[in-house]
Amino acid sequence: MKKQFIKVVLSCAVIAGGFSSCKNSSSSKNTSRATGWKINAKEGGFQHNTDYKEQETAPGLVFVEGGTFTKGKVQDDVMHDWNNTPTSQHVMSFYMDETEVTNSMYLEYLDYLKSVYPPEDPRYVNIYTGALPDTLVWRNRLGFNETMTNNYLRHPAYAEYPVVGVNWIQAVQFAEWRTDRVNEIMLEREGYLSEEAKYKVVNGDIEGTFSTEAYLNRPESVYNGQIDSLQGKMKKDSVSNFASRSTGIILPEYRLPTETEWEYAAAAQVGSREYNNQRGRKKYPWEGDYTRNGQRLGRGDQLANFKQGKGDYGGIAGWSDDGADITAQVKSYKPNDLGLYEMAGNVAEWVADVYRPIVDDEVSDFNYYRGNIYMKTAIGEDGKVNVIRDSIVYDTLPNGKVVAVNLPGELKMVPVDENETYLRTNFSSSDNRGYRDGEPGSSRFYDRFSDDEDGDEKKKMYNSPKHKVQRDSLGAVTRNYDKSNYRTTLINDEVRVYKGGSWRDRAYWLDPAQRRFLPQYMATDYIGFRCAMSRVGSKSKTKNKTVRSKKVK
């Protein structure tokens, strides 16, 4: 009896100790280890989200744990491009779209633009039209494809097919729009915005919209200065309450994946990992060296849709090799080991990088990316960041298409200057697209003591054509084609990489390491895109490492 009593007493002591431990843990979490002051005190002081766990997986995305891999490792190089020499690279963890962006997803974007920036308004006439995909990419001089020209984008039969006819610039702008819409609904969910805010914008009840960067830098400017009337339950006693980055609610931006991220995700070598080693080799996003399914279920089926031979886009009727003649509905084929669909076949995909034949791993082997242009927010005379109201800037692309460079409500951005670059060792200018491969100093003809600032056009490293398209005050277009006989390449800073094989390509291009390029203003019927998002915080979502604690002697 006495022993049982002692056990009960000890149990109560353990439980009480547990509660005390929890209380102390909670208390220490809200006490600064730097000063001992309270964090998140009702009286004021430092406020911070101490309950933050990890980044939420945003709509449409799949988590990709980062790691080390060999970029550019191909099993075949019949093209002899010499543009994918193997280099060892490390990629930080990130998120990527489970599928390519579909017609339905892109139509939602177009519908929003048409509602918020009606094309009949002279101020906005080129915002909507500049975002429209080029449906004429389906036309062929010796092919009858008018059905796709008229139906592929908008007909519900193609709703879940990957969008095509979108150039690189349009893909980037879609990602920017998607960032704002997702963060808008995140703030609504957490009570910083009212539920009707986004619909008032779409229905035209208020003139103005939500921009993530404007909200973070100058929140009172959002919704054309009407945000106070659109705040949610977090508004306290008629006092504005805005979310900041420190709340952990604002997600990083949607964007195009870098070439390194895309190739790493497509290869999905996590499926052939054995501890910290790689076993075997993969030629495609799936296991093995063949394009057909070798498993019992579905044996013999093609694992992607691609051109299998001259004139063969889908096999014989009744036994269609890949079930598609053009693109296929997303998720028609098995995902790779990361859960990503159609990383080979269907459509090739734009990535963020500017194209260069050589990957400069001597400068960077961590999150490699060529295309950095560093910008900063413009500060007005009042000392506040500049928010663009009605001064929409449009750009006429070399093919004559007009696109909006900015939208109303966004921040005005300017290149970084000497204030940010002075005495730095990691970057010295705003535009780094041609760093060590394309800028004047990269050429063997470069003379640092020459008085000729432009240099000899014939001797530049990437002496590409320079077509000029101009519009007069009446909007008439003048196209001036570059007819120089001294152009030696198509490579310049407006040429972007696209990855992966498409429905138009042979199996050779299904290898994730293969790479091609196209001017960023051009669109085709076989290039689409998917978005990515950076991960903040831990590399892994699972604790798969052994904790090694030191023994106290």
Q: Considering only CA atoms, which of 422, 463, 421 is closest in space to residue 440? A: 463
173 inside domain: yes
Predicted local confidence at residue 396, as pLDDT: 87
- Tokens found for residue 277: 């080693």
DSSP 292: B
Q: What is the pLDDT along the chain (553 residues), one digit of tens a residue?
A: 455 655 555 555 555 555 444 444 556 788 999 999 999 898 889 988 888 889 999 999 999 999 999 999 888 888 888 888 899 999 999 999 999 999 999 999 999 999 999 999 988 989 999 999 999 999 999 999 999 999 999 999 999 999 999 999 999 999 999 999 999 999 999 999 998 899 999 998 988 899 999 999 999 999 988 998 898 888 776 667 899 999 999 999 999 999 999 999 999 987 666 566 666 667 888 877 788 777 776 776 788 999 988 998 888 887 667 889 999 999 999 999 999 999 999 999 999 999 999 999 899 999 999 999 999 999 988 888 999 877 788 888 888 888 999 899 999 999 999 999 999 999 999 999 999 999 888 888 887 776 665 556 667 788 899 888 887 777 777 888 888 888 889 999 999 999 999 999 999 999 999 999 999 999 999 999 999 999 999 999 876 554 444 444 4
| 3-class secondary-structure state, position 312 | strand
- pLDDT (tens digit per residue) in 55-73: 999 999 999 999 999 999 8
- In this prediction, what percent of the chain has a pLDDT beyond 90? 59
201 inside domain: yes
Helix 103-116, helix 168-189: angle, nearest 10: 80
Predicted local confidence at residue 156, as pLDDT: 97
**Rounded CA separation 374/372 (Å):** 6
81-88 long-range Cβ contacts below 8 angstroms, 24+ apart: 81/357, 82/357, 83/357, 83/358, 83/515, 84/359, 84/513, 84/514, 84/515, 85/358, 85/359, 87/359, 87/361, 87/365, 87/368, 88/361, 88/365
Q: Are 471 and 400 in contact (CB under 8 A)?
A: no
Q: Considering only CA atoms, which of 108, 112, 57, 537 is closest in space to residue 251? A: 57
Predicted local confidence at residue 548, as pLDDT: 44
Q: What are phi and psi of 163, to 5 degrees?
A: -70, 140
202 inside domain: yes
CB atoms within 10 A of CB 71: 24
5 inside domain: no
Q: Considering only CA atoms, which of 81, 84, 63 is closest in space to residue 73? A: 84
Biggest alpha carbon–alpha carbon distance for the chain: 105
Predicted local confidence at residue 196, as pLDDT: 85
- pLDDT (tens digit per residue) in 320-352: 678 899 999 999 999 999 999 999 999 999 999
Would you call 420 exposed, middle or buried from its count of C-beta atoms within 10 A (0-12, 13-18, 19+)?
middle
pTM equals 0.91
27 inside domain: no
Residue type, 213: E
Predicted local confidence at residue 135, as pLDDT: 97
**Rounded CA separation 70/189 (Å):** 41
**Rounded CA separation 280/277 (Å):** 10
- Boundaries of domain holding 358: 103-260+347-534
Half-sphere exposure of 468 (CA within 13 A, CB side): 7
- Tokens found for residue 82: 């010499």
If one counts the domains in the chain, the total is 1
450 inside domain: yes
Strands (E), 343-457: 348-354, 375-377, 394-396, 402-404, 413-415
Find residue 404's DSSP bridge partners: 394
**Residues in CB range of 77: below 8 A, 6 or more apart:** 84
123 inside domain: yes
